[in-house]
Amino acid sequence: MSTDTTPDVPAAVRRQIVRDSMAVAIATGAYGVSFGAIGVASGFDVWQTCATSLLIFTGASQYAMAGVLGAGGAPMSAAATGLLLASRNLLYGLRLAPLLRFTGIRRAAAAHVVIDESTAMSITRQNTGEARVGFLTTGVGIFILWNLATLIGAVAGDHLGDPRSYGLDSAVGGAFIALLWPRLRDRRNQLCGVLAGALALSLVPVVPAGMPVLAAAGVALVLGFVPHQPPDVPESTEDTP
């Protein structure tokens, strides 16, 4: 952790960041149990469920893959949906790079734990040293706990019997709304969500499973071209009281 380029982090500050990061890691890691159970209920076997957590390691993408697969979608539609959802990690990386300043093999290793939570716990830090403590504690902590929890959930889910009688199909919808919720703060996102949901539902009866969700990505593409501010309302400062 302490290369010559890393500014030293005072022990007290480091302890505080580690404590905060571990709290996030434990809370997030724990819900790997629900992914594990949902994974085996959706058609992955125990090993495939664990491989998903190890290799993809992006919660929303993993739930999405399980959801598409469980609904009868083709495995490759599931992969495409997961990858589209993972595209936000690219932006996280762009924002983190100048702050973390990892190079070479360390960058290659760090990349795997660029996720929502590790970004959130490092992006607001004052300097590279503090950012790295937050990023690594959160990222590595979640990686370990998420994978352990996935294994536990998958093994338990495998022994449950009919997943529907435990409402595991309904749990997937619950996971998606909980992931979506914090992103619905502004108007544009709300509009995007409503249009995408409506488009997907209208396509369900007419296209193969998995396709409605991919088609809904088009809503994000189209709305992305709409400028943030509505086109200038004619300036009429004279009328202002």
Partner 1 sequence: MIWTAIIVAGLGSYLLKFAGLSLPPRLFEHPVAARIVDLMPVALLAALIGVQVFASGNTHGQHLALDARAAGLGVAVVALLLRAPFLLVVVLAAATAAILRLLGWAG
Residue 241 amino acid letter:
P
Using CB under 8 A, pick the residue from 10, 19, 126, 174 that binds partner 1: 174
Using CB under 8 A, pick the residue from 36, 82, 129, 157 that binds partner 1: 82
Write down the least CB distance from residue 237 to partner 1, Å.
27
Task: Give, as ranges, the residues between 17 and 56 that touch partner 1 (CB under 8 A).
Answer: 27, 30-31, 33-34, 43-44, 48, 51-52, 54-56
Tell me if 100 sits within 8 A of 125, measured CB to CB. Answer: no
Task: Kindly give the interhelix angle for 88-100 and 75-86, rounded to the nearest 10 degrees.
Answer: 40
75 binds partner 1 (CB under 8 A): yes
DSSP 11-73: HHHHHHHHHHHHHHHHHHHHTHHHHHHHHHHTT--HHHHHHIIIII--HHHHHHHHHHHHTT-
Specify the residue, 10 or 87, whose C-beta has the smaller distance to partner 1.
87
Task: Give, as ranges, the residues between 102 and 121 that touch partner 1 (CB under 8 A).
Answer: 102, 107-108, 110-112, 114
Give the H or E element holding residue 131.
Answer: helix 128-158
Cα 49 from Cα 66, distance rounded (Å)? 9
Using CB under 8 A, pick the residue from 20, 22, 92, 148 that binds partner 1: 92
67 binds partner 1 (CB under 8 A): yes
Write down the least CB distance from residue 3 to partner 1, Å.
17
Residue 129 amino acid letter:
G
Stretch that binds partner 1, among 2-10, 12-20, 57-65, 230-238 (CB under 8 A): 57-65
Stretch that binds partner 1, among 12-20, 66-74, 124-132, 233-241 (CB under 8 A): 66-74
Cα 56 from Cα 235, distance rounded (Å)? 50
Stretch that binds partner 1, among 1-9, 11-19, 126-134, 171-179 (CB under 8 A): 171-179
Cα 75 from Cα 189, distance rounded (Å)? 28
Specify the residue, 151 or 196, whose C-beta has the smaller distance to partner 1.
196
Using CB under 8 A, pick the residue from 86, 123, 140, 148 that binds partner 1: 86
Tell me if 17 sits within 8 A of 129, measured CB to CB. Answer: no
